[in-house]
């Protein structure tokens, strides 16, 4: 079990995700860049985060905003140069922080030279670097249903595209411009390892690994159950957490990290991962990854039709889910903790009511779990979903594909838009709101996606001087993790599991106990507490609106309270 004094450094660390396109633009072209990020490092230092995770900055046709890479060892001119990157890295290190790169190696861009070679002919030495298959018998290439499997892509439509050059199909779990690499081929793995070593030699401190549990496919590539749109099937069981994924990750750890000294962080993004598998992936003895991003808690508001068929969250489901993960990875392994990233709608709009109180209550709950918290840019300001007026305001390939296919299939465009407004990824991608000025201080030009009009009052500048701001609440939560070992490595016990509106739990380490009680609802709640908490010290609260007497806490809407008992008191 991870415990003092041997706990790795990242147990008391907080990671901040930067989505470069939307963070800060230094050139006026409307797109964020590396110099922009460097110019805003004071903000991160002030917040107190330990690690910056940089979403992709590599050379890319930008079909999926950089998650489609055409050169892993070059910086896209839209973001700057390798020299800009080196300066950013040096500045991050100078400020005592670490920098983790995004590693997108389940797939490349179709414009990556590896794929260009691979598609050039069946005899090309790189042919087998990707998944090529002939049309399904007895169908004819190019005819509907001829795809080698019936799988539906994450971004709508089939996962196979016919390539005219050789008359075969290539596999892409995501967009057709994101062909999947064939990890069965040892040359592919060696090339990825070499590239990773190159970045580590440059000084980076680790990797966030994009959809890394998809790299091992069942080589038979069987059809999945036909649950998808237009008769397409769900191939998940064929490509998620496949037969060789643990082997591949162990090999990667050996080939890339063995013999290096340094404080590295690896986190594997793993859609659909179960806690049983996560325990294996993160068991330190197995040497795979330090932690994983799981998706259970951000799928609880998906309806029968998936993410674009949302339903209200039942708080009891959230507690059951996160509580299960706390228990499952309590003895062996480690959790990552997140509400937001560049793929998720803003938590304050999704599980909160848009208010400062709901932003800070949700933050309190998340950050005081056992695990490593991740803050997504703007979350520390309580940034909200965006009021997209119509489809022209959207930029994300997933949202646009979904819109067009759903409308073609006969759905009401307004209803599709309503779902996209609630769940679409562009909500996370509107520019960071630095000031109340022109384009929120993000750019001197016209931003690639509109800034949220609420930047006139919701912005960083306004929050720095306000001790009650969302920003300062995040700062205090981060400080609690840094200064109190009970937050980093204490035990976790869920309380009031059946309460529909209050999220409560206890953390304990030796003779220190922390009680976290949060009202995640817009009406006042009263809860009974064990009598000893009447004498506890309040270490954090997001509102003056709470009252604890001998046995009960009265919690105003969205009030969150953290109480501490130390040896002498309990």
Residues at the interface with ligand ISL (CB under 6 A): 64, 67, 104, 154, 174, 210-211, 269, 271, 307, 342-343, 398, 425
- Give CA–CA dist 434/359, Å, rounded: 18
Residue with smallest beta-carbon separation from ligand ISL: 67
Task: Tell me the two tokens of residue 303.
Answer: 């309806």
Distance between the two ends of the chain, CA-based, in angstroms? 25
Please report which residue ranges of 253-396 form alpha helices under DSSP H. Answer: 275-282, 315-328, 347-350, 356-367
**Helix axes 397-408 and 413-423, enclosed angle (nearest 10):** 160
Residue number, 57 or 146, with CB nearest to ligand ISL: 57
Least distance to ligand ISL, CB of residue 543, Å: 33
Residue number, 67 or 533, with CB nearest to ligand ISL: 67
Least distance to ligand ISL, CB of residue 561, Å: 33
Residue number, 152 or 210, with CB nearest to ligand ISL: 210
CA distances from 64 to 171, 208, 213, 395, 566 (A): 17, 17, 19, 10, 50
Least distance to ligand ISL, CB of residue 327, Å: 24
> How far, in whole angstroms, is CA 12 from its chain's centroid?
19
Residue number, 139 or 154, with CB nearest to ligand ISL: 154
Residue 428, SS3?
Answer: helix
Residue number, 16 or 471, with CB nearest to ligand ISL: 16
Residue 136, SS3?
Answer: coil
Least distance to ligand ISL, CB of residue 500, Å: 28
- Give CA–CA dist 134/141, Å, rounded: 8
The secondary structure of 192-217 as a DSSP string is HHHHHHHHHHHT--EEEETTGGGS--
The DSSP symbol for 394 reads -
Locate tokens 């298959």: which residue?
A: 133
- Give CA–CA dist 272/295, Å, rounded: 6
- Beta strand pairing status for 168-171 and 160-163? antiparallel
**Helix axes 245-252 and 275-282, enclosed angle (nearest 10):** 30
Least distance to ligand ISL, CB of residue 104, Å: 5
Least distance to ligand ISL, CB of residue 36, Å: 20
Least distance to ligand ISL, CB of residue 88, Å: 21
**How big is the chain, counted in residues?**
570
Residue number, 19 or 505, with CB nearest to ligand ISL: 19
Phi, psi (deg, nearest 5) at residue 196? -65, -40
Residue number, 21 or 481, with CB nearest to ligand ISL: 21
The residues annotated as belonging to the active site are 210, 269
């Amino acid at each position: 079990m991870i415990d003092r004094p041997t706990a790795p450094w990242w147990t008391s660390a907080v990671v901040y995700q930067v989505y470069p396109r939307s963070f800060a633009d230094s050139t006026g072209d409307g797109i964020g860049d590396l110099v922009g990020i460097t110019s805003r490092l004071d903000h991160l230092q002030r917040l107190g985060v330990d690690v910056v995770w940089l979403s992709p900055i590599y050379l890319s046709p930008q079909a999926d905003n950089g998650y489609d890479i055409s050169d892993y060892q070059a910086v896209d001119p839209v973001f700057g140069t390798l020299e800009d990157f080196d300066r950013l890295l040096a500045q991050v290190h100078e400020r005592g922080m670490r920098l983790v790169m995004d590693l997108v190696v389940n797939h490349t861009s179709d414009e990556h030279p590896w794929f260009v070679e691979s598609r050039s002919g069946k005899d090309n030495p790189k042919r087998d670097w990707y998944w090529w298959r002939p049309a399904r018998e007895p169908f004819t290439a190019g005819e509907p249903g001829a795809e080698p499997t019936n799988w539906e892509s994450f971004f709508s439509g089939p996962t196979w595209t016919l390539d005219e050059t050789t008359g075969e199909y290539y596999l892409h779990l995501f967009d057709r411009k994101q062909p999947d690499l064939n990890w069965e081929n040892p040359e592919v793995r060696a090339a990825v390892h070499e590239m990773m070593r190159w970045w580590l030699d440059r000084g980076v401190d680790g990797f966030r690994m994009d959809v890394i549990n998809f790299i091992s496919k069942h080589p038979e590539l069987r059809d999945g159950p036909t649950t998808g749109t237009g008769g397409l099937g769900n191939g998940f069981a064929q490509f998620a957490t496949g037969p060789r994924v643990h082997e591949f990750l162990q090999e990667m750890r050996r080939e890339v990290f063995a013999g290096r000294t340094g404080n590295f962080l690896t986190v594997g993004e793993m859609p659909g991962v179960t806690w049983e598998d996560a325990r294996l992936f993160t068991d330190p003895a197995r040497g795979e990854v330090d932690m994983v991003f799981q998706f259970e808690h951000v799928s609880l508001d998906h309806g029968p039709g998936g993410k674009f068929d949302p339903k209200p969250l039942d708080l009891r489901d959230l507690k059951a889910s996160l509580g299960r993960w706390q228990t499952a990875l309590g003895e062996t392994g480690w959790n990552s903790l997140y509400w937001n990233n560049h793929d998720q709608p803003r938590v304050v709009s999704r599980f909160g009511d848009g208010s400062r109180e709901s932003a800070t209550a949700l933050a309190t709950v998340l950050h005081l779990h056992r695990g490593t918290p991740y803050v997504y840019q703007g979350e520390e300001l309580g940034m909200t979903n965006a009021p997209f007026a119509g489809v022209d305001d959207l930029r994300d390939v997933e949202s646009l594909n979904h819109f067009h296919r759903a409308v073609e299939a006969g759905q009401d465009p307004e209803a599709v838009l309503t779902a996209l407004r609630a769940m679409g990824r562009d909500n996370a991608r509107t520019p960071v709101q630095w000031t109340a000025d022109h384009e929120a201080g993000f750019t001197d030009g016209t931003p690639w996606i509109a800034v949220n009009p609420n930047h006139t009052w919701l912005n960083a500048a306004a929050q720095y001087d306000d001790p009650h701001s969302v920003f300062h609440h995040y700062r205090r939560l981060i400080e609690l993790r840094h200064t109190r070992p009970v937050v980093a490595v204490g035990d976790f016990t869920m309380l009031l599991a059946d309460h529909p509106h209050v999220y409560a739990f206890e953390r304990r380490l030796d003779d220190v106990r922390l009680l976290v009680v949060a009202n995640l609802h817009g009406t006042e709640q009263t809860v009974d507490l064990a009598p000893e908490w009447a004498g506890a010290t309040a270490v954090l609260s997001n509102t003056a609106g709470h009252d604890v007497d001998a046995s009960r806490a009265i919690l105003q809407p969205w009030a969150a309270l953290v109480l501490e008992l130390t040896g002498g008191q309990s």
